[in-house]
Amino acid sequence: MTKPRLDNDVEVSRYVAETADRLLQRLAAVSSDVLRALEDQIPELRGDAQLMELLGSSVEGNVDTILHALRYDIAVERIEAPTTALEYARRLAQQGMPVNALVRAYRLGQRRVNELVFAELRAIDIPEPMRVGVIEAITGTLFEYIDWMSQQVVAVYEDERERWLENQNSLRALRVREVLAANKPIDADAASTVIRYPLRWHHLGLVMWYPDAGPEGDQLARLQRFLRELAESAGTAAAPLFVAADRSCGWGWLPYRAAVADAPTKVREFTLARPDSPSVAIGNMANGVDGFRQSQREAETARSVAVVAKRPQPTVIAATDPGLSVVARLGADVAGTRDWVADVLGDLAADNENDARLRDTLRVFLGCGSSYKLAAEELSLHFNSVKYRVGRAVARRGRDIGSDRLDVELALLACHWYGPAVLQPGAP
């Protein structure tokens, strides 16, 4: 006698729930798998560290939501898009990323989740008469979910893009971006007139952001006020230039008629003296249109280090800070850098106060040409204290410093600038 269809539907739902539950138990791994697939297949999505982190959160939010929908048989039309997914769409709109890259990410994400689901189904003992029904139920829900989410995130993207373009000083911002892109010859005098900034002068490029974002829409106004006050304090020869990079980050340029050697120092002092300052990354002073671009690129590079380090408090970081320009190259692959640092430093790469003190001493010692006397002066320590700490640092590393001295110095610099992001968890 054939079982009633209702019984079959109940059994199909049970196997769908079991499949989703098995994947939910590996949520982080599944989400990472999908994220890697998107990074490999859609180069446009590879942004700065902060944007990539938000993409990872968006992927995990979507994977978690759809798996719970399958697990508990929740109707797709009752599901709201994850907050991180909506915010990621807004950020892409702010940065001018094409909307088709966002839509394609959802389609490719659906394909990768399908592949993972099928792999899981092969591991479950499902009666053959029901296997097709289970596959149809899962793939149907996935399709509906992606279609529904795509509609939501595209609507958010389009609204944000329209708002963003309307609220910006569009002609000025567009012209500044054209100057930075350098994809065609620039008439410096004409561009200076449009952006109301002297491109032929000397420039100090800045990137400013608030690590702990405040009320929506408030950050750019705060950054503009800060830049105006900073320019007055730093003695610029004209008004500074401000352009929004996104909702919580801005680019700034301080103009001078001639090179001012202590301008970066003035920026650092002013920023650190104010309790409400944003984080600030500083480029080198340079002149002309090329210098305008170069100083901004250097400031962006410095900021990338601070973003990876995830310092919760406002910080000032400059392209001229010792070792920063070299270490910045390691930030593109934080996981690989973390593994390499552990290989070079051994137990000395542990994330604890004792090893941090030893690493700092060893870094300064090597930077002083292996002079205990000079290191003691720089660290304000006794000669014997430096000698003891260096010995302990080498012992923690597990081998003497020989022909790999350069590797050790670079690994110590990476620890100094990136902190816990490249360290290994562990007790002293």
Query: With bands split at pLDDT 50, 70 and 90, how would you rate the model's confidence at 194?
Result: confident
Quote the tokens at residue 71.
Answer: 């697990």
Q: Quick check: 3 pLDDT over 60?
A: no
Burial of 99 (0-12, 13-18, 19+ CB in 10 A): middle
Q: Quick check: 318 pLDDT over 50?
A: yes
What pLDDT is attached to residue 428? 57
Ramachandran region, residue 172 (left: φ > 0; alpha: ψ -120 to 50; beta: rest)? alpha
Place of tokens 């769908």: 16
What pLDDT is attached to residue 119? 93
What pLDDT is attached to residue 186? 85
Q: Quick check: 164 pLDDT over 90?
A: no
Handedness of CA 162, 166, 171, 173 (dihedral sign): negative
What pLDDT is attached to residue 94? 85
- Fold adopted by 5-167: Globin-like (1.10.490)
What pLDDT is attached to residue 48? 72
Query: With bands split at pLDDT 50, 70 and 90, how would you rate the model's confidence at 2?
Result: very low
Cα–Cα distance list, 75 to 71, 117, 135 (Å): 11, 19, 17
Residue partners of 261: CB distance under 8 A and separation at least 6: 285
What pLDDT is attached to residue 167? 63
Mapping DSSP onto H, E and C, the string for 190-214 reads HHHHHHCCCCCCEEEEEEEECCCCC
Q: In this structure, which amino acid lies at residue 271?
A: T
In 117-267 the beta strands, taken as DSSP E runs, fall at 202-209, 241-246, 249-256
Query: With bands split at pLDDT 50, 70 and 90, how would you rate the model's confidence at 82?
Result: very high
Which among 410, 357, 415 is positioned nearest to 386, based on CA atoms? 357
Q: Quick check: 101 pLDDT over 50?
A: yes
Q: In this structure, which amino acid lies at residue 4?
A: P
Q: Cα(177)–Cα(301) distance, rounded to whole angstroms?
A: 17
Tell how far CA 323 is from the center of its chain.
Answer: 20
Q: Quick check: 302 pLDDT over 80?
A: yes
CATH of domain 170-321: 3.30.70.120
With H, G, I as helix, E, B as strand and everything else as coil, classify residue 316: strand
Quote the tokens at residue 156.
Answer: 């958010």
Q: In this structure, which amino acid lies at residue 306?
A: A
Query: With bands split at pLDDT 50, 70 and 90, how would you rate the model's confidence at 174?
Result: confident
**Pair type for strands 279-287 and 316-318:** parallel
Q: Could you give the percent of the chain with pLDDT greater than 90?
A: 71
Q: What are the pLDDT digits (tens) for 242-265?
A: 998 887 899 999 999 999 999 999
Domain limits of the chain? Answer: 5-167, 170-321, 330-422
Exposure class string for 344-383: b at 16+ Cβ within 10 A, else e: bbbebbbbeeebbebbbbbbbbbbbeeebeebbeebebee
**Helix ranges (DSSP H) in 274-352:** 288-309, 324-327, 334-345
Q: Quick check: 218 pLDDT over 70?
A: no
Quote the tokens at residue 172.
Answer: 């000025």
Handedness of CA 88, 91, 97, 100 (dihedral sign): positive
Residue partners of 215: CB distance under 8 A and separation at least 6: none
Which among 150, 54, 60, 48 is positioned nearest to 99, based on CA atoms? 150
Tell how far CA 328 is from the center of its chain.
Answer: 13
Query: With bands split at pLDDT 50, 70 and 90, how would you rate the model's confidence at 215?
Result: very low
Q: Which range, of 271-280, 325-334, 376-385, averages the lowest pLDDT? A: 325-334
The mean per-residue pLDDT over the stretch 117-123 comes to 91
